[in-house]
Amino acid sequence: MTAIKHTLHRDVFLPNDEQLVAFVHVTKVGRKKKNSFLCAVLSTDITPVQPRVYQVKKADKGESYKKKLSWLLRELRTVDGKSTNKETAEFDLHFEKIFKWSASSVAEKESFLSTLWKLSQRYLIQKADFVNVPRHLLQEVSRPTERVTQAADDIEVLQEDYQALSSKEESDLDQLMSECQAAISNAEVFSENLSKQLSVLDGANIHSIMGSEDQVLNLMRLLDDGINQAESIEGKLESYDNILQNVKEQMEVMKDKDTLIKVRNTNHQKLLEELDNVVTQLDLDTRHLKALQDGELSTPNGIYECTAAALALHKCVNINIHPALTKMAAVEEQQKKFTKFAAGFAKRLAHHLNNLFIHQGNEMGETLSRQAAEYKLTPHHTHRPHHTRHRDLTPYADLMAWLKAADSKTFTDLSKVYTESLSKLYKKEVLDFIEFSKQRLTTIPDRVKLGAQAASMLSGSSTSLQRFEASRKRSGSMQSVDSATVSFHGSDADIASRHFFDQVLDKLLSELEPFCLAEQDFCVRFFHLIGDPMKDEKEQVNEEEVETGDIWMPRKEIPVIERQINEEVRKMMGELFTNLEEELEGFIFYADKLDGFYSMYMLVRMSQHVNNAQDAGSFLSVTFASCLVKIKRNFDKFVQNQIAAIEDYKVQKKSRCGIIGFVHNFGEFANQAESIFKGSDRHTHLDKSYSALVKVVYQQIDRVSTEHGKTPREVVMLENFHHMFSVLSQLKIPCLDGDRKEAKQVYQDNLSVYTTNLLGRPLEKIQVFFEGVESKIASGVKPEEVGYQLAFSKQELRKVIKEYSGKEVKKGLDHVYKKVEKHLCEEENLLQVVWFSMQEEFIKQIKHYEDLINKCYPDSGISLSFSVTDVLQFFSEIAQAH
């Protein structure tokens, strides 16, 4: 235990000028594995000396110790020894909370508790209570009056410790051991030498003492005198100590009182500051009270004064103070007073604004009706009165913000009055505007008619405006009765009408957008539909900047960028414009009924307005988006009607087929659609329609080619697929690139089949002869030995060739040319293409025959009666003749 005590004192406390007095090895009750030491320590570097209690534990790594917890002994409230009769190692120390310990032995526990008792009695004024501690451990400790006589005993008890060698003692010991060489190797010799030296020194001391007896007697007398003087000084010191002890106790009491006085003064200062803050915040200027009670709400200066008063009242009602202060009687009384003022002013403000809303609604209705009757103004010329109304109501915006925060029910009722008084007016304006746009579509303006007539005359078209008007009454379709029927999809009058519709639609949407957004922006600012109206309030009224005079200048507004429109805004706008979506849908249905092509114009225009909207969640954007969905459905229905018309096409069997009507119309449809959708982000919808239309066009071409009896199937296929290939190549639509390649392949395949079938076997006997030659070669006969076969001799070959002179060949080719001319239509201009294909096929056959003659009948001098040059001349002469 002594070694542990020495280690703790040296490593833990000595570096901090602390003296270890006692320690006990403990564990917390219930935790047997976590060991530590409780140490009683005196801090010698502080005056007066302060006793402390430390909990010391071993470090996580290594054998060193560290302090874990520390308490001043004066913080100790109670020491509980658990029992006075029964021996137990457990005890409790009550500091700020109770710590329960179990010592390694009862003796260590009792020694530690006894030391705590002595330190408490010696150094503390307010001592801890020792309960359930045996009486023999609580010994009396000397008071200051007995300190001289018993100090040595107490220090010995409290500071019993292991004393290490001083540096001088260590040096002397080293010198002594160096004088004796056997000090380390032979301890007995070293001990014997030390004993001899000690005997010699003792004898010398005795002789010296005996020789100085007189000096010893004098020394004894001096010692007696010193003792007497010391006792006299000690008596004086005891009296001084008593005096100082009393002074110490009084100074400690004074110190505690001074601390309490400082705390009290600080609390008083804070209380005064808080009360001053409360009084300042709850103080409402008398001119504000007067404005709330009697302020004028119809003049600019009166509105300004009422606004300043309302904002000041709002600050008083919503002061930021401690919740406990709100329970003060004075604060409650003042708050009731402010609540009464707020209720009275809210009622007066609501009454004024209610009358103002109703009056403005009635006055605007009469003004607009009078202007429409006198000047024949269209609805989109009526925006100015709304701007005037917004300007007149804007000064009340801050008061509406105050009203929304102070009385939400009254604010809601006012909002309803506003929407009810203006919804009828807006309903009539929207209805008139939509009806006006419908009327513009019903009758084509003269300038559009004249433009269509001029275009028809320049293009040589026989289409009249009467036929155009008749065609507009039916939905646009790609179906034609036959190829000679004029298609109204691409007529000049029809295109002019559609461009005019696009202008009317753009005008309609462009007029509605600022019309609705102006009202929406006003409602957001006036009714404070976004955010907390008072929390995000614009700059408060600065009373020092109020301009004198009769004119009040409104405060500069902070612009709101990229507002996020919430559901409350859309709800209010829906109550104001109750029929906007319904009327727009009616206009869409009406336009779609006039011409199915209008759905494409509406799809593009409406998409532009939806995408260009600044607020994607605004009422108008949502309304346009809803209409856009219906327009998309109409467009899909229009495409389905086109598909149905193509599928219902009836084959005309009395004349040659030529380019089928729906094939011809597809090109016009695609060109118009591309011009409409140019630069639009809705082109993907058109691409899907293209794919569906091209697919059904290909299917129906195949059907018509099979059902048509007048024109060969291959001719119908090659002409119409060639036309589709030309159209798709001209359009250069990426999504139809695969269909373009398919059209080219089908056209080429049918051209090859038609050429082969129509050309047939113009040199039939020669063809039969050489087929036999090829069969012999295939059976294994060498080419040069074929001429020795009786059926394929040179004489037989000359006989066959003699039957086909150049004149007969030209006659047969002329007959073929007439057939081709009869089958093909002039519109597609494929006659020369087919004739050239036949020329290549015929020359190919002739070259094949010449190769067989050279191969099987070498050096025979046999050749056809005409050459390739003759054939080329035959084809050229026949083409020029026709």
Residue 106: how many CB atoms within 10 A of its CB?
12
* DSSP per-residue codes, 672-736: HHHHHHTT-TTHHHHHHHHHHHHHHHHHHHHHHHHH-SSS-HHHHHHHHHHHHHHHHHHHT-GGG
What percentage of the chain exceeds 70 in pLDDT?
82
Q: Which is it for the CA torsion 586, 592, 593, 594, positive or negative?
A: positive
Q: What is the pLDDT of residue 458?
A: 33
DSSP assignment, residue 9? Answer: I
Q: What is the pLDDT of residue 745?
A: 93
855 within 8 A of 782, measured Cβ to Cβ = no
Q: Has residue 371 got a pLDDT over 70?
A: no
Q: Please enumerate in sequence order all residues whose Cβ is within 8 A of that of 194, keeping only pairs 6 or more positions apart, or say none.
A: none
Average pLDDT over residues 606-632: 84
Rounded distance, CA 879 to CA 832, Å?
8
Average pLDDT over residues 826-845: 78
User: How would residue 94 be classed by pLDDT, with cut points 50, 70 and 90?
Assistant: very high
489 within 8 A of 668, measured Cβ to Cβ = yes
DSSP bridge pairs for 26: 36, 103
Rounded distance, CA 396 to CA 173, Å?
104
Rounded distance, CA 708 to CA 724, Å?
19
Q: Has residue 516 got a pLDDT over 90?
A: no
DSSP assignment, residue 595? Answer: -
What residue type is assigned to position 624 of the chain?
Answer: F
Residue 295: how many CB atoms within 10 A of its CB?
24
Q: Which of 160-164, 223-227, 337-341 has the lowest mean pLDDT?
A: 160-164
Which one has a higher pLDDT value, 297 or 467?
297
Average pLDDT over residues 66-82: 90
Residue 800: how many CB atoms within 10 A of its CB?
16
Q: Please enumerate in sequence order all residues whose Cβ is within 8 A of that of 349, keeping only pairs 6 or more positions apart, or say none.
A: 297, 306, 399, 403
Closest CA to 516 of 444, 623, 660: 623
Q: Please enumerate in sequence order all residues whose Cβ is within 8 A of that of 777, keeping only pairs 6 or more positions apart, or say none.
A: 783, 786, 856
Which one has a higher pLDDT value, 323 or 237?
237
Rounded distance, CA 559 to CA 306, Å?
24
Which one has a higher pLDDT value, 237 or 561?
237
Q: Which spans in 102-212 are helix H?
A: 106-123, 147-158, 167-179, 187-211
DSSP bridge pairs for 35: 27
852 within 8 A of 880, measured Cβ to Cβ = no
Q: Has residue 691 got a pLDDT over 50?
A: yes
627-642 burial by CB neighbour count: b if 16+ within 10 A, else e? bbebbbebbeebbebb
In this predicted model, what pLDDT tens digit does every residue of 790-811 receive, in sequence order? 788 888 888 888 877 777 777 7
497 within 8 A of 595, measured Cβ to Cβ = yes
Q: Has residue 158 got a pLDDT over 50?
A: no
* DSSP per-residue codes, 779-821: HT--GGGGGGSGGG-HHHHHHHHHT--HHHHHHHHHHHHHHHH
42 within 8 A of 51, measured Cβ to Cβ = yes
Q: What is the pLDDT of residue 79?
A: 93
What burial class does residue 817 get, using C-beta atoms within 10 Å of its C-beta: 0-12 exposed, 13-18 middle, 19+ buried? buried
**In 77-181, beta strands by DSSP E:** 78-80, 90-94, 98-103, 129-131
User: How would residue 24 be classed by pLDDT, with cut points 50, 70 and 90?
Assistant: very high
**What is the average pLDDT value for the chain, to the nearest integer?**
78
470 within 8 A of 619, measured Cβ to Cβ = no
Residue 273 tokens read as: 């500051």
Rounded distance, CA 597 to CA 478, Å?
11
Q: Please enumerate in sequence order all residues whose Cβ is within 8 A of that of 39, keeping only pairs 6 or more positions apart, or say none.
A: 8, 12, 13, 20, 22, 23, 53, 54, 55, 56
What burial class does residue 724 get, using C-beta atoms within 10 Å of its C-beta: 0-12 exposed, 13-18 middle, 19+ buried? buried
Q: Has residue 208 got a pLDDT over 80?
A: no
What percentage of the chain exceeds 90 in pLDDT?
10
In this predicted model, what pLDDT tens digit does every residue of 146-155 receive, in sequence order? 443 343 344 3
In this predicted model, what pLDDT tens digit does every residue of 742-795 receive, in sequence order? 989 998 898 888 887 777 666 777 778 888 888 888 888 888 888 777 788 888
Rounded distance, CA 269 to CA 814, Å?
126
Rounded distance, CA 163 to CA 9, Å?
11
Residues in the chain: 882
Q: What is the pLDDT of residue 156?
A: 42
Residue 501 tokens read as: 């519709």
In this predicted model, what pLDDT tens digit does every residue of 209-240 receive, in sequence order? 777 777 778 888 898 899 999 999 988 898 88
Closest CA to 801 of 766, 834, 777, 762: 766
Q: Which of 394-408, 436-450, 451-465, 850-864 has the lowest mean pLDDT?
A: 451-465
Helix (H, G, I), strand (E, B) or coil at 865: coil
What residue type is assigned to position 85 of the chain?
Answer: N
714 within 8 A of 753, measured Cβ to Cβ = yes
Rounded distance, CA 419 to CA 571, Å?
11
Helix (H, G, I), strand (E, B) or coil at 660: coil
For residue 312, report the phi and psi dihedrals to the nearest 5 degrees: -65, -40
Residue 128 tokens read as: 């801890």
Helix (H, G, I), strand (E, B) or coil at 100: strand
Q: Has residue 565 got a pLDDT over 70?
A: no
What burial class does residue 744 get, using C-beta atoms within 10 Å of its C-beta: 0-12 exposed, 13-18 middle, 19+ buried? middle
In this predicted model, what pLDDT tens digit does every residue of 425-434 receive, in sequence order? 888 888 888 8
Radius of gyration (C-alpha) of the chain in whole angstroms: 60
How many helices and strands (H and E) does the chain possess? 28, 8
Taking 3-state DSSP, the helix, strand and coil percentages for the chain, each rounded to the nearest 5, stand at 70, 5, 25
Which one has a higher pLDDT value, 760 or 310?
310
Which one has a higher pLDDT value, 867 or 108?
108
Which one has a higher pLDDT value, 178 or 403?
403
What residue type is assigned to position 195 of the chain?
Answer: S
Strands 35-43, 50-58: parallel, antiparallel or unpaired by DSSP?
Answer: antiparallel
Q: What is the pLDDT of residue 738?
A: 92
Domains parsed from the chain with CATH numbers = 1-137 (2.30.29.90), 761-881 (no CATH)
Helix axes 213-281, 187-211, angle to 10 degrees: 110
Q: Has residue 78 got a pLDDT over 70?
A: yes
Q: Has residue 530 got a pLDDT over 80?
A: no
Q: What is the pLDDT of residue 463?
A: 36
User: How would residue 384 be classed by pLDDT, with cut points 50, 70 and 90?
Assistant: low
529 within 8 A of 400, measured Cβ to Cβ = no
Closest CA to 704 of 648, 760, 753, 744: 648
Q: What is the pLDDT of residue 153?
A: 44
Q: Is there a cis peptide before residue 48, judged by omega within 30 degrees of 0?
A: yes
Q: Please enumerate in sequence order all residues whose Cβ is within 8 A of that of 114, keeping only pairs 6 or more positions apart, or say none.
A: 137, 138, 139
